[in-house]
A and B are shown apart, each in its own frame.
Chain A
Amino acid sequence: MTVTRVDKDVDHLTLTLVADFTAPVEQVWRLWADPRQLERWWGPPGYPATFEEHDLTPGGGVRYCMTGPEGEKFGGWWRISSVTPPTVLEFTDGFSGEDGTPDPEMPTTSVTMTLTGRDGGTRMELRSVFDTREQMERLAEMGMVEGLSQSVAQMDAVLAG
């Protein structure tokens, strides 16, 4: 298992995830720092991401767009608060409308990503905090609706068979 620990703190709206990779720190850092690599893992399968802006400097921004299987567009942005290559990246992660402008109605999370060398490999610790409880609940609701759509679609296929 690459993910070695997960902690969910409902009271503090925080997810902490620890993952261990066999690759060295510099190589794991490149997954974040090189937009061509980032777009190969950021979005789910079937939703290829294109990073149109990728400026990993304090105050800098990242803008990306994912395209769904039916051509639907999902935009997102990061605002970089702190960066110490090749070990620390802190940013706010949010959603955009189709035109790429940040959507204030959508939830944002504050992400702290830390890489530590470990026996020739790399430990990645990721902490993601919802900025408000209201936003967290909103994301849950979206997830619930999408998840429900999928499970209902699967059920429908079973029932039809």
Chain B
Amino acid sequence: MVVDGMADESAETVDRLFHALADATRRDIVRRCVRGELSVSRLAAAYPMSFAAVQKHVTVLERAGLVTKERRGREQLVRTDPDAVGRARQALDELESAWRARVDRMSGLLAEDAGTAGGPGAPARDADTDENTDENTTEGADG
């Protein structure tokens, strides 16, 4: 969503986004409001700061397009609302990159241990990989 359009955005928009995400409280607000809308007063109760200070943070996030704010009765409701399918795919992508990085580090450690045997990062056996190539092709198809 936000990431896709970013290449075309003006420097001003990027600045706004950067500024919005550079603060730990604001990142936390974005996280909290993913699960459903929360009122500004409820958010304010979660941080050691005034209602007005939290409201200011929400306004910064709103300007950066990261949250939406809606008035209902006396409450102002804040919500982070990206596309659900995108989120699911994103979660699996996150998990995949975390595990790929771990496997790389495991490989590095094993190569350290092995010393001369095999050499760092050497594939187990090239002859065995052919049975996996078919399944690999499904990976890019869902983009």
Contacts and interface: CB of A to CB of B under 8 A. Distances in A.
A binds B: yes
Q: Is the interface of A mostly helix, strand, loop or mixed?
A: mixed
Most buried by B among A28, A42, A155: A155
B53 interface: no
B11 A15 contact: no
A133 B85 CA distance: 11
Nearest to A121: B124
A52 interface: no
A3 B34 contact: no
A149 B128 CA distance: 40
Q: Is the interface of B mostly helix, strand, loop or mixed?
A: helix
B106 A3 contact: no
Interface string B1-23: 01100100001001101100110
A148 B93 contact: no
Contact of B132 (A4, A23, A143, A145): A4
Interface string A131-146: 0011011111111111
Nearest to A124: B103
B35 interface: yes
B109 A2 contact: no
A130 B93 CA distance: 13
Most buried by A among B85, B91, B125: B91
Contact of A2 (B2, B80, B104, B135): B104
Given A7-B138, A137-B34, A2 B21 contact: no
B80 A141 contact: yes
Contacts of A13: 88, 91-92
Contacts of A18: 132
A152 B96 contact: no
Contacts of B104: 2
Contacts of A130: 91
Contacts of B85: 10
Given A8-B96, A128-B99, A140 B87 contact: yes
Contacts of A143: 90-91, 93-94
A15 B100 CA distance: 11
B8 to A, nearest CB: 12
Given A21-B106, A41-B102, A155-B18, A119 B124 contact: yes
A10 B103 contact: no
A37 interface: yes
A5 B30 CA distance: 33
Contacts of A128: 95, 99
Given A15-B92, A19-B106, 7 more contacts: A3-B103, A21-B124, A23-B118, A124-B103, A139-B95, A149-B27, A159-B14
19 contacts: A2-B121, A2-B123, A7-B139, A8-B89, A13-B88, A13-B92, A15-B96, A15-B99, A17-B99, A18-B132, A21-B107, A28-B110, A122-B124, A136-B91, A140-B91, A141-B87, A144-B90, A152-B17, A155-B6
